[in-house]
Amino acid sequence: MGHDDQTAETSLAYIAYVEAWAFCSSPAEVRLKHDASTGEIKGTIAVVAMTRIALGDPEFEEAFPEYVHAKS
């Protein structure tokens, strides 16, 4: 395994960690991380926020009004 492969695996592990963290954290904490993030991490957090909104979480709906379109 080359250096690039290790970096990719670490990145995937970190993305998985952020996704799990976002599912278990408060909307306010997730909002702060979302606003401080860029790229894939921000996108991952956005997907979690939209999923929580689609599942009917009103606190996430309030914290992420830009993703209310995900509401079922």
Domain ranges for the chain, please list them.
Answer: 3-67
For residue 1, pLDDT over 50 is answered with: no
Q: Are the C-beta atoms of residues 30 and 9 closer than 8 Å to each other?
A: no
What stretches of 25-57 show up as alpha helix (H) in DSSP? 27-36, 39-54
Global confidence as pTM:
0.84
Mean pLDDT of 37-54: 95
- What is the per-residue pLDDT across 24-37, written as a single tens digit (0 to 9) for each? 999 999 999 999 99
Higher pLDDT, 5 or 42: 42
Per-residue pLDDT, 5: 52
| CB of 53 closer than 8 Å to CB of 67 | yes
pLDDT at 2: 47
